[in-house]
Chains A and B, each alone.
Chain A
């Protein structure tokens, strides 16, 4: 058996692989800078509006990341899985004495971690810009900010799990992209459906718990499909 745990080893390798990729440079550096540039170019009527509380840099980045991060995460992982499987990369791992599911979990955790870091960097930059402009987040806003951040992380996790499922199911990159864009993004609202339909009370932590459970189930489903597939 492996000297280190196979899961740790695969996760370390996947994190390294994604962190080195050009996509992560865009997510960690270019996107936050573009977001700030976009915010600073917004008309003052929007950023300083009275009565509406104005639009802080943190909130602007939050909106931007919530619309982009999930899609990027799902696409990254789905395309990566399809591409590597078609190039027969996984054969050399599956023939070793490791569980094939480890490959899928490592992919999911690596992309989730990298995109979450991108969200934190962007939000951190937003907070910094607000602080520089003299309106750092106040005590009462911090709890709401934390909930927003956790919601965002939940969306990223759910999107990654959807991306993993479609990556395992799809034979070509085109099919994976279509599934992610047209089906996957709609699936991320599933955790909130019980609340919208009135089946469950509107409680933030309940929705977070449903998101976590659904994410786990999707990754498990993807792992089972991957193990049963013939490479």
Chain B
């Protein structure tokens, strides 16, 4: 897949503070890219540079082949941006906000008349259509922010913490919409602190730390490269005479009475260990309620990454 977004050697300072320090990143057309990192890593700064809100930086940023500074309007036409906090004029209603922003993005009157109610309906905001934006709750304003980014069906969706402030059904809806847009050919770049949600939708992730991409790739690739250990999770309905055998199988931790996690050593196959746990529990007069393999997820990867100080 060709790169829709090309970020080359971008440096950005705010006063004396270096926020981005030689950031380089390509995002392929049609992929969902999760952009994660600790607080202060430079995620929002990167997205704002892409969207044209920050124009003083070193390096090159191209969207759909257009430089975001030199070919500003062409680059912006390809982008739908949802900022972390969306502000609207106090006098605007939901309808008037979407109408004006849609028209400024080049959406015709006829298309706006179809898309606005359809999107409002999808996000369950149709009843609030004629309400003033200042009367909406935080979550509803967040949804409105997403709708204005989707209205002109851009090639690239840039979403800064889109899941913040949304209730679980709305988060699931947003993830569903991201997947739908991807199937329709839209490229999605989004940042989030809710790593389980990033895990659910992202094809690739990039971990930003101290102004640089510390690593990027699919979650599966990163987990393998990083060598995160597998774990076996078990719940004992009745404990056996002794649980000492669990420590011989790996690093065993009792999280709650009767609930254990066994971290396997590198290279240990999980199936024989599971078999041994079942056999020895039953031999000791115990009963198992639940046993299964826990594969590392993005939360584990990120925590380990930061703990080990990579990218520092």
Contact = CB atoms under 8 A, between A and B. Distances in A.
Interface size class of A (residues with CB under 8 A): 20 to 34
Contacts of B89: 17, 84, 89
Given A17-B91, A96-B105, 14 more contacts: A1-B77, A3-B106, A3-B108, A3-B109, A13-B100, A16-B91, A21-B91, A88-B83, A91-B53, A92-B86, A92-B101, A94-B53, A97-B72, A230-B56
A1 B103 contact: no
Contacts of A2: 103-106
Interface of A: 1-4, 6, 9-10, 13, 16-17, 20-21, 84, 87-98, 228, 230-231
A92 B83 contact: yes
Interface residues of B, number: 33
A230 B54 contact: yes
Nearest to A227: B55
B76 interface: yes
Contacts of B252: none
Interface in B104-161: 104-109, 145, 148
The main secondary structure of chain A at its interface with chain B is loop
Contacts of B53: 91, 94-95, 230-231
Contact of B76 (A4, A17, A88, A96): A96
Given A17-B91, A97-B73, A9 B86 contact: no
Contacts of B51: 91, 95
11 contacts: A2-B105, A2-B106, A3-B109, A21-B91, A89-B89, A93-B104, A94-B53, A96-B104, A97-B74, A97-B76, A230-B53
B154 to A, nearest CB: 10
A9 B104 contact: yes
B270 interface: no
A90 B52 CA distance: 12
A93 B87 CA distance: 10
A96 B101 contact: yes
Given A3-B106, A92-B87, A230-B55, A97 B100 contact: no
A83 B77 CA distance: 27
Q: Which of A2, A4, A92, A96 has the most chain B CB atoms closer than 10 A to its own CB?
A: A96
B79 interface: yes
A21 B92 CA distance: 11
B35 interface: no
Contacts of B52: 94-95
Nearest to A1: B106
A95 B154 CA distance: 12
